[in-house]
Amino acid sequence: MLLYHFTDTEHWPAILAAAEIRATWQRRMSPSTVHLSRGGDPESLPWALRTRRVRILVRVPDAEAYPWQEWAKQHLEPEELWSLTASSDPTVVGTPNQWNGKPEEWFVIERAVPMAEWEEVIDLETRSGLWIAGRETGGPGA
């Protein structure tokens, strides 16, 4: 399954050096996860994450990519579910999910995503390739 992971530009060098996207997000007793999206546009993300400008395209096994809405029901508190599980509609002002993106496009994987599963890494601000499978570039403009 082809999915996208978004991160901040300041985190990219550490991800590249580790040669993996580490599974660091965790709630309660849930496993640590990496969050992914079917959509390649940051607008599909929760509003607080839309400024992330490094987009990593990964290919992970379908069976390991859990749809976020289903996964969240087992691992999040009711308040988090209430505000994040319904799809955003910016025309409906005042709803808890007004700016929370498109959760139907979100997935989690309960492990790190190694470089072997990366397809490409793009700096969305400059539109430059930071890394391409089979041709590691590592920096802007490469």
The residue count for the chain: 142
Q: How far apart are CA 96 and CA 23, in angstroms?
A: 27
Position 142 pLDDT exceeds 60: no
Position 86 pLDDT exceeds 70: no
Position 87 pLDDT exceeds 70: no
Average of per-residue pLDDT across 48-55? 92
The residue ranges of DSSP E strands in 20-135, in sequence order, are 20-21, 34-37, 54-59, 66-67, 106-109, 113-114, 118-123, 128-132
Q: Is the dihedral of CA 44, 45, 51, 54 positive or negative?
A: negative
Residue-averaged pLDDT of the chain? 86
Confidence of residue 123 (pLDDT cuts 50, 70, 90): very high
For the chain, the domains span 2-132
* The pair of three-digit structure tokens given for residue 38, joined into one six-digit string: 């079917």
* Alpha helices for 1-141 (secondary structure H): 12-18, 68-75, 78-84
- Pick the range with the lowest mean pLDDT from 41-50, 86-95, 113-122: 86-95
Q: How far apart are CA 24 and CA 38, in angstroms?
A: 20
The pLDDT assigned to 27 comes to 76
The pLDDT assigned to 99 comes to 59
